[in-house]
Amino acid sequence: MSLAAAEPAAVAGCVTRPVLRERGQHEVFCGLTGIVWLHRKIQDAFFLVVGSRTCAHLLQSAAGVMIFAEPRFATAIIDERDLAGLADCNDELDRVVARLIERRPDIRMLFLVGSCPSEVIKLDLSRAAQRLSRRFMPKVRVLSYSGSGIETTFTQGEDACLASLVPEMPAEPGTARSLLVVGALAEVVEDQMIRHFAALGVGPVRFLPGRRAAELPAIGPGTRILLAQPFLGDTLRALESRGAKRIAAPFPLGVEGTSAWLRAAAVEWGCPEARIAEALAAGEARGRAALARHREALAGKSIFFFPDSQLEIPLARFLSRELGMQLTEVGTPYLHREIMAEEVALLPDSVRLSEGQDVDRQLDRCRAAAPDLTVCGLGLANPLEAEGMATKWSIELVFTPIQGYEQAGDLAGLFARPLDRRARLEL
Amino acid sequence: MQLAVWTYEGPPHVGAMRIATAMRDVHYVLHAPQGDTYADLLFTMIERRAARPPVTYTTFQARDLGGDTAELFKTAVRDAYERFRPQAMLVGASCTAELIQDDPGGLAKTLGLPIPVVPLELPSYQRKENWGAAETFYQLVRAMAGPHAPPPGTKRLPGRRCNILGPTALGFRHRDDIAEVRRLLEAMGVEVCVVAPLGATPADLARLGEADFNVVLYPEIAGQAASWLKRSFGQPCTTTVPIGVGATRRFCAEVAALAGLPAPSDDVALRMPWYSRSVDSTYLTGKRVFIFGDATHAIAAAQVAAKELAFEVVGLGTYSREFGREVREAAKAHGIEALVTDDYLDVEAAIAAAQPELVLGTQMERHVAKRLGIPCAVISAPVHVQDFPARHSPQMGIEGANVLFDTWVHPLMMGLEEHLLTMFRDDFEFHDGAAPSHLGAKASGPAELGNGRAPAAPSVPAPAAVTPHAVAGDPISWGAEAEQELKKIPFFVRGKARRNTERFAAERGIGVITLETLYDAKAHFAR
């Protein structure tokens, strides 16, 4: 489609850098996909999508074999009786939820997750959630958010989910200072960060989401927010509306990103520079040693990012600054200028940033650029490989622990492996 | 609303994608929101296709809904035509676009494209993937072949040319089935005109009428198109799906009759009958098997299991509601009641109740069987990536029968191994928990049974908890001595012994099973 409103005629935002904005076919997941990792993270929550067979099929395709390990998600499939008004959608939903809660007595929080069909027929899930919460409290709290494709792209599903938790967070009495790390992280990463913050004298440290939905962290004017993930615009806004303040920082990817992220919190807590340097030195040294092994394989190689998760810009920053890769185009589904300001400032001038997508045009640009490595979704990866291009499928970057010093080498390894494989194969 | 954790079939537009992706020079423009492109990866990952599916999505977003989504759709169709220059296009709506009620067919028509544009009406809230595939194929066949239909009443003589209808993208072993069936047909002297939809162009569909008859491989997908071809072109079609030795023979006889040729004799490459008759297979006799899948594969598998491997079919079911009648009839032939459902929890419960020694099903039954510790083989879609194998692996025809034998017998304990386990069952290396030696080291512990959603409960002695016959009237309990004796029975027939004994006790109103009850029951059932 040629709906790209502002082709190279760039739109300058608050970051003074041209951004190619495109509108056309988007080859991305919708926000429902967030359920796949969120339900692993929040161990007593259940995610009930109110949608169509397509939604159910998407979830099982995205979750792969995980769907059989006692999944804590399901779909209430809207059928023609619901649409024809023969069945009252709200009554039907109540029936399905009652049955579900009966079958899963271990569930403490139930998310009603909106989809494209439920949004289009204007099924009011927030009212349904309030109604059901009244019915099942205090045993089960019922919340709602939208993971629909018409409103959310991939990781934005986590943003919508976490934003729905914010009004439920208890208020911090007084103005006691605390750090809130926002964004789902692997437990191993969380634990590493806790040790770093302790060494820096930063605390108390809380995480959103926590491992149990029923134990939400308190929030108040003394709360300082450190975003662990770049896709949390709505959550940030909701947290700020409750008086918390964001600590601006790049994201904790790579040695540089992790140090800057930790340092930003340390400075806010008034930690002396000597202590910061001392606390971070060992992690930085280990991270750099791990990166050195991959630098040889990646330095000088060009890379092209298709939009997917909003992690593209921090990843590109890491790959260009710490591994010497050449950035051609960095695509992101959505560019939140304020959150991304520190990251964009670290990108080289030569890079083309693009927001949104017209996948066929972007493929044309990618082929013309002939990058050494292309980061893209699974719908594009094999077709591009068949054209002779090396790809790194992007979804793995969301599921794998990649933040922090100890994971920096692994993160670089994810990009080095496809090139290594190509070098080894004699076919 | 229906609560679904897992679905056997996708929405109908995924069926349409399977047709478009199977063909060449067709492009499908799907009015759909952002995110529906997930379906692309079924083709690029599960089937490992080397090209993107020929599908353009409008990917409308919330902010477009107030505006002109119809214009968005028209632009997408125009651009897709310009970029891909297909011979024909399909246009349609996914579930969300169905609700916003733009009219893809009407909108595409206003563009006046110089190629046939086939509008698809796929009711997403009512129908499913296979129906969508069948409808799409039918609409395409009608649109392309329709103009070449002979005048009504034209007589058609038997002849040696046929079409092969039904194979699609994402079809379970469709690629290899075509090769196998083509070989069968050509060995008989039958010429294959068009294979469709897999590999066909719209121009090929226009030539369907040149054949004398149609070979329908997958009735779920090609049945509707074949019956239209029968009405409009007078082309008869085959009704037997050649899965298994007997079905392949019947299929060949049917083709021979349609083509006016002599029926061929068995191929020398047909090893399955001898393998099944050889003494090593004796231990397969009467093995209890539970079968679930799409209607075509489930019915065929039941026939093969009973007649060609001498298994006992203890369960037969399908998720294809459209073919419920056929499956019920087939089940009746095995003296059982068919299970027609698309709820995997029902299937799991039925498997647990039937206590089979082998499950033949889809990827879902594979996971259920794994949970229950029962051997399993896959016979039907939906399947994971490993069931799109690199090697030649048909289900149909002669090589297909060989493949079925290997695939189904492989997960079972091999005859000698089973024998040794019985002889040396107190030996530390041969104990009840030992898995088949070729399936890795993981011991199959007592089956964790349940409704599939309950939290991991403290481990209950599983068989007693689920034995279906223990529920009628007063609960039946096992005396300690009888329980001890039961444990001496080899584990692979223990479930059957327990079930039979409890049934025997229930029928006679015995509350506590003693050693005598156990052996009375054994004598009663030893026929």
The reply, when asked if residue A30 is annotated as ligand binding, is: yes
> Nearest CA to CA, how far is B108 from chain A (Å)?
15
Residues 154-213 of A with CB under 8 A from B: none
Tell me if A119 and B62 make a contact (CB, 8 A cut-off).
yes
Query: B7 and chain A: CB distance < 8 Å anywhere?
Result: yes
Q: Return the closest-CA partner of residue B433 out of B443, B423, B442.
A: B443
Residues A210 and A114 in one domain: no
pLDDT digits (tens, 9 = 90+) for A257-310: 999 999 999 999 999 999 999 999 999 999 999 999 999 999 999 999 999 999
B454 touching chain A per CB within 8 A: yes
Residues A150 and B33 sit within 8 Å (Cβ to Cβ): yes
CA distance, residue B4 to nearest chain A CA (Å)? 5
Residue A279 maps to a domain: no
Helices (H), A137-177: 156-165
Chain A nearest CA to B125, separation (Å): 5
| Angstroms from A26 CA to nearest CA on chain B | 6
B336: closest CA of chain A, how far (Å): 28
Prediction pTM value:
0.88
Q: Check if B12-133 and B146-259 are the same fold.
A: yes
CATH code of the domain covering residue A186: 3.40.50.1980
Report pLDDT for B349.
Answer: 93
What is the span of the domain harbouring residue A360?
A: 286-426
Q: What is the ipTM of this complex?
A: 0.91
Please give the pLDDT value at position B446.
Answer: 38
The H or E element that residue A263 is part of is helix A254-268
CB atoms near residue B28 (< 10 Å): 25
Any CB–CB contact under 8 A between B65 and chain A? yes
Q: Hey, are the CB atoms on B95 and A52 less than 8 Å from each other? A: yes
Q: Name the CATH superfamily housing domain B12-133.
A: Nitrogenase molybdenum iron protein domain (3.40.50.1980)
Q: Which fold has domain B271-412?
A: Rossmann fold (3.40.50)
Nearest by CB to A120, which of B100, B367, B456?
B100
Q: Which helix (H) or strand (E) holds B41?
A: helix B40-41
Q: Do B40 and A27 touch (CB under 8 A)?
A: yes
**Per the annotation, does B36 bind a ligand?**
yes
The reply to whether A187 and A316 lie within a common domain is: no
Q: Which residue of B has its CA nearest to A379?
A: B41
Minimum-distance CB partner of B10 among A27, A53, A65 = A53
B204 as an active site residue: the answer is no
User: Looking at the structure, do residues A407 and A306 belong to the same domain, yes or no?
Assistant: yes
Interface residue A257 vs chain B (CB under 8 A): no
Q: Is A153 on the interface with B (CB under 8 A)?
A: yes
Among A residues 318-347, those touching chain B with beta carbons less than 8 Å apart: none
B64 contacts in A (CB within 8 Å)?
Answer: 150
A360 at the B interface (CB within 8 A)?
yes
Of A27, A93, A153, the CB nearest to B1: A93
Residue B18 contacts A, CB cutoff 8 Å: no
Q: Which residues of B touch A87 (CB under 8 A)?
A: 1
Tell me, yes or no, whether A305 and A238 share the same domain: no
Say whether residue B111 is in contact with chain A using an 8 A CB cutoff.
no
For B290, residues 6+ apart whose C-beta sits below 8 A from its C-beta are B314, B315, B316, B350, B351, B354, B356, B358, B359, B360, B361, B365
Which one, of A413, A420, A405, A398, lies nearest residue A37 by Cα? A398
**Amino acid making up residue B290:** F
Residues A245 and A127 both lie in one domain: no
DSSP category for residue B149: P
- In A, which residues are within 8 Å of B95 by CB distance? 52-54, 116-117
Nearest to B3 among A2, A100, A379 (CB): A100
Cα atoms in the 13 Å half-sphere on the side-chain side of B486: 25
CA distances from A133 to A93, A102, A147, A158, B55 (A): 13, 15, 20, 21, 42
B85 in A contact zone (CB under 8 Å): no
Q: Which listed residue (B280, B346, B427, B474) is catalytic?
A: B280
A263 and A383 assigned to the same domain: no
Question: Are A215 and A297 part of one and the same domain?
Answer: no
List the 242-301 stretch of B: residues with Cβ below 8 A of A.
none
Q: Is residue A347 part of a domain?
A: yes
Q: Does B36 touch chain A (CB under 8 A)?
A: yes
Position A276 in a domain = no
Query: Which chain B residues have a beta carbon less than 8 Å from that of A52?
Result: 11, 95-96, 124-125
- Size of chain B in residues: 527
Of A28, A67, A96, the CB nearest to B1: A96
Inter-chain CB proximity B5 and A74 less than 8 Å: yes
B233-259 residue pLDDT tens: 999 999 999 999 999 999 999 999 999
Residue A33: which residues within 8 A CB-CB, separation 6 or more?
A58, A59, A62, A147, A154, A157, B38
Identify the segments of chain B with pLDDT beneath 50: 441-472
Cβ contact, residue pair B65, A79, below 8 Å: no
Inter-chain contact A29–B38, Cβ cutoff 8 Å? yes
Q: At what angle do helices A273-298 and A405-424 cross, to 10 degrees?
A: 0
Give the domain ranges of chain B: 12-133, 146-259, 271-412, 477-526
CATH class, range B477-526: mainly alpha
B471 Cβ neighbours under 8 A, 6+ residues apart: none
Residue from B319, B316, B367 nearest B342 by CA: B319
Block means of pLDDT (10 residues each) for chain A, 427 residues, are: 41 63 93 93 94 94 67 92 85 94 92 96 95 94 97 97 97 90 95 96 95 90 97 98 97 98 98 97 96 95 97 98 97 96 94 95 97 96 96 92 96 96 92
Q: Does residue A100 belong to the interface with chain B, where contact is any CB pair within 8 Å?
A: yes
A190 in the same domain as A122 = no
B-chain CB neighbours of A62 within 8 Å are 38
Are A106 and A134 found together in one domain? yes
Q: Which of residues 124-183 of B touch A (CB under 8 A)?
A: 124-126, 128
Domain count within chain A: 3
Interface list for A 52-71 with B (CB within 8 A): 52-54, 56-58, 60-62, 65, 67-68, 70-71
- Nearest-CA distance from B122 to chain A in Å? 13
Distance CA B311, CA B307 (A): 8
A202 and A116 co-located in one domain:
no
Q: In chain A, which residues have their Cβ closer than 8 Å to the Cβ of B348? A: none
Q: Let me know: does A291 contact A297? Beta carbons within 8 Å.
A: no
Query: Cα(B363)–Cα(B381) distance, rounded to whole angstroms?
Result: 7
Contact yes or no for A79 and B126 at CB 8 A = yes
Look at residue A187 and tell me if it is in a domain: yes
Domain B146-259 maps to which CATH number in 3.40.50.1980, 3.40.640.10, 3.10.20.740, 3.40.50.1370?
3.40.50.1980
pLDDT for the residue numbered B423? 61
Residues A322 and A367 in one domain: yes
In terms of CA atoms, which chain A residue is nearest residue B457? A106
Whether B496 has its CB under 8 Å from any CB of chain A: the answer is: no
A376 annotated to bind ligand: no
Contact by Cβ (8 Å): A224, A180: yes
Binary contact (B44, A383; C-beta < 8 A): yes
- CB–CB of B37 and A25 under 8 A? yes
